[in-house]
Amino acid sequence: LGTEWAEVEAVELLNDGSGLGFGIVGGRSTGVVVKTVLPGGVADRDGRLQSGDHILQIGDVNLRGLGSDQVASVLRQAGAGVRLVVARPSEAGSEG
């Protein structure tokens, strides 16, 4: 994939029992993309995860080629502390 990432960042989120507070979309062909960040949720309070970010890795698991159902189960198994490697495409800078 010839995608240029403007930014790649490791984000560590601590699940407070209510979930991580974000929804994903995508899968094998497109990669896993953050669709929604719930206001007031863990990811929102952390402030680093944004809608449109690509999740490359959860913990030690590379998500390349995984479907969204598999990704969801990886997230469930990650436990309370979840380390995400996220990338932001360079063209995302156009949003005001």
Q: Is 31 left (phi over 0), alpha (psi -120 to 50) or beta?
A: left
| Beta strand spans in 1-96 (E) | 5-14, 22-27, 31-37, 54-58, 61-62, 81-89
Please give the Cα distance from 77 to 43 (Å, whole number): 18
Q: Structural domain of residue 21, as residue ranges?
A: 5-94
Cα angle value 72/78/82 (rounded, 5°)? 100
Using CB atoms within 10 Å of the CB of residue 81, give its burial: 0 to 12 exposed, 13 to 18 middle, 19+ buried: exposed
Most confidently predicted of 33-37, 65-69, 78-82? 33-37
Tally of domains within the chain: 1
Model pTM?
0.83
Q: What is the CATH number of the domain that holds 67?
A: 2.30.42.10
Residue 72's pLDDT band (cuts 50, 70, 90): confident
The model's pLDDT over 19-33, given as tens digits with 9 standing for 90+, comes to 899 999 987 788 899
* 94 pLDDT higher than 60: no
